[in-house]
Each structure stands twice: as structure tokens, then as C-alpha cells.
Homo-oligomer: A and B are copies of this chain.
Amino acid sequence: MTALPDELQRELSGLLGEAWLTDPGERLAYAYDNSRRHAMPDAVALPRTREQVLALVRACRRHRVPVIARGRGTNTTGASVPVAGGVVVSFERMNRILEIRPGDRCAIVEPGVLNGDLQTALKSHGLFWPPDPTSAAFSTVGGNLACNAGGPRAVKYGASRDNVLAVTAVTGAGELIVCGTATTKGSTGYDLHRLLVGSEGTLALIVEASLRLTPAAPARAALRAIYRDVSAAAQAVARLMAQPVTPSMLEFMDARAVQLARDFGGADLPAEAGALLMIEADGDAQTLPHSIDALKRAAQGDGLISLDDASDEAARERLWAARKALSPSLRTLAPGKINEDVVVPVSRIPELVDGVQALAREFDLPIVCFGHAGNGNLHVNLLYDPADDAQSERAHAAMSRVFALALALGGTLSGEHGIGLAKREFMPQAVDAATLALMRQLKQVFDPDGILNPGKLLPDP
């Protein structure tokens, strides 16, 4: 049934009982992620305790068998696909919220809790955990930490790495480590917990996390600003980010995205729109109108076509409809999509978008840009027909040039999706040789036999 050594198979079957899956039908459900890549694991473990995780990693290390941590497989980079076989450790049964401490702005959780379930539990305390990826309803906190997930709120409240106080984890060496303390300040030795965030299960398996919480603002309000061109919108983004009222969301759509939202999503948008910003503020009923006024002032400037506000939730929903109409409408352009999430300094957004549109012309493929403008984190959606070999080849060549462009503008490969399989071949362009060599040495310290998520994040030497 499986390629695992008999001795390991017996040991882990004994350790985990019915939580040790080897049936091909059961394993199949753990073979893919949202990258649409696929590779069968030799077995799947559903541990309930950190002791089980520790015993499992130690056993797998003895047999040099890969161990691949898994939340719910919503990531887009292939990071949870077991390309080298081995044991997938799904944290779906380690999904408890262990403690919520409102006065400490802290929650202690197991890695398998769903982001959305955590938010629901926090709501009655008036608190939230800032990371809000699109997948929040069905992605886990552990998965969010593994790829340093962000989302629209990150512009004001930070991404996963900014919102974790401490983690307990099992290294590839089979050691249980406790990194950080559940306090909002700390200067006691090396900062290991932020190092584990974004490491995509290649250094250690997180078995518990102390999360930094934020009090929820009781109200929010939105603005929709339409500009003549990307440059005018990007200048507005810089003005918005240079004044004291930080927007709680600051989302961008380029001309093609606006066109799609209008033509296919039925959004009410003028034909001359060259770029659109969705701007949100949050606060209490007393301060919110003043915050919106400050954002309105900053949004105004050369190239502004229209500025609409949405003071109530219904009006806000209508404004967001334009953005939400986007993803489904992309499929009308082509059956295949490569969606990457490059990041550049905010001031370089116009060059990024202009450069991307030049690549769209050069490679004769539609590319649609939208995303988190306040962080310079744009989702570059390249559309093509995967059944057409020539188009596929052009699509991958164009995306390689998009990465090169983001790097040339002082940016990097990923803002919130991570590297996984999809971008690891580009790592040597993003990270210089000495730093990459150091990353390999760190990996070696945490995981001396290279059993944790092999083939991910770091390129082949």
C-alpha cells in the first residue's frame, strides 16, 4: 500500500491508530493544494497532541522519510504538495482555541484552528486576529503562519508575522522548541518565532501559537476613488500613506481590472476609468467621519475622476461588488490563470503596472493587476490557455519577466503567498548568493536530514 519502511509504518500505526491513513482513497485528499499541483503522500497522520507530532518526526527522521505539514491546503504555491512522498501531517484535529485573554490581547491556539472560527470566537470579546486572506473561512492559523498570510487589512494591522507573540514547534531534528513569550515586547535572545513564520514547514512544525490580537473597531466606512490612470492612483496611494489616518484597507484595480468589473461584473464604472482605489477606514462612530474626511482629502488630486463614499454597509457592499466581480470575470478571458503576488515599494506601483502592461503586449497575453496598494502588494493575473503549448510557454516566460521587474523596482517575489514550489527557481534572483547560502545553513540546523517539506522554498543547490 505504501512505500514506507515496515518498521516506521508499524510504529506510526501504533502511535496514531485510526489517525494513521494509508488507504489510497484517503491519501488522495491530501495530495493537492490550491496550486492545482498533485503528488500522493505515502501516508497521512492526523495527530491530536504535540507528543504525537514529536514522536512522528523523530521516527520519520530515523528512517529519512519526508514530513509535510498541512493546514487545509488553500495555499497557491504548492507548498503543501508532498512532491517527494512521505507523511503528510494534517493538523485538522489539533484545532482547539486553548485560551483567549482579552486584557493581554492574546489568544493561544493549536495550529489547525480555522482563521474564520478563531475570528468568530474573538468577536464576543471585541477582538480580532488581523490576517484576513481570502481563504480565511477555510484556512488554518497554522497555514497562515506557514506562508505569512496577509490580506487587505495588513495595510493597517500587519500580516501574520506581525501578529504572533510566540510559537511552540517541533524541529526537523525532532526537538520541541518554545520560541518567544506571550508578551507584546521581548528582547531575550534570538527571535526564533518570526523566523518560523513564513518558513512553509521547512524548519519546524508549529504545534501551538500565541497570537497578538487587536481590538475591533465598532464601525467602518468606504470610499471608491476612480482615476484617469495608474500614475494618478499611485500618487494618491502615496498621499494616503503619508498622512496619519492609516486606511484599514487600500485596494487597487488597474484599467483592465476596472474594464472586467464593468463589462462582466456589471459594476457601475465610467469608461474612462484608468485605475480604481477602494479605501476603507475603521473607528468608532465619533471619529470615523473625521477619518473618512482625512482620507477624502488625501485621495483628491490630479487625475481624480470621481470619489464616492459609502457611509452604510449596503453602500459599502455595492462598492466592493466591483472588486468581487473580478475573480469570476477573469475566467471569461482565458481558461488558465497564473496569479502571483509580487510586492514593490508603494512609490514604484506605476512602474510595476506600466511594465506589466508592456509585458502583456510583448507576450500577447492579457494581464490583470489588482491588490493591496497600501503595501505595494499587487496580484498579477496572467491569463492563458493551458491547452495551448505556445501560450503556456509565453505565459511562463512573461511571469518570469514580471518577477524580474518587481525585483528591479526594489521589491520581491511574494508579499503573502510564499514561495513553495511555484517560485523557488526564482529565489536566486531575489536573494543574493551569500544570503541564500546562509538560509540553507539555517535549514540544516533546524532540519539536519532535510526531512521537512523537501523541495520547497529553497531552490535546488
Contacts and interface: CB of A to CB of B under 8 A. Distances in A.
Contacts of A199: 190-191
Nearest to A446: B438
Interface in A137-190: 147-148, 150, 154-155, 159, 161-162, 171, 175-179, 181-190
Nearest to A410: B182
Interface string A190-220: 1110110111000100000000000111100
A314 to B, nearest CB: 23
A242 B416 CA distance: 28
Contacts of A177: 432, 434-435, 438
A155 B105 CA distance: 12
Interface in A75-113: 101-106
Residue of A178, A191, A237, A246 most packed against chain B (CB within 10 A): A191
A29 interface: no
Contacts of A161: 191, 194
Contacts of A176: 434
B101 A171 contact: no
A332 interface: no
B346 A414 contact: no
B103 A188 contact: no
A181 B411 contact: yes
A329 interface: no
A191 B197 contact: yes
B175 A434 contact: yes
Given A177-B434, A286-B290, A412-B181, A439 B345 contact: no
Contacts of A4: none
Interface stretch (A56-64, A221-229, A269-277, A370-378): A370-378
Contact of A457 (B189, B245, B293): B189
B103 A241 contact: yes
A54 B299 CA distance: 45
Contact of A417 (B105, B187, B190, B283): B187
Contact of A343 (B103, B155, B183): B183
Contacts of A218: 244
Contact of A246 (B195, B215, B444): B215
B445 A442 contact: yes
Interface in A239-284: 239, 241-246, 283-284
Contact of A344 (B183, B238, B377): B183
A47 interface: no
Given A186-B343, A434-B175, A215 B191 contact: no
A187 B419 contact: yes
Given A103-B346, A188-B430, 12 more contacts: A103-B239, A126-B244, A177-B432, A183-B412, A185-B415, A186-B412, A189-B419, A189-B436, A244-B283, A244-B284, A286-B293, A442-B445
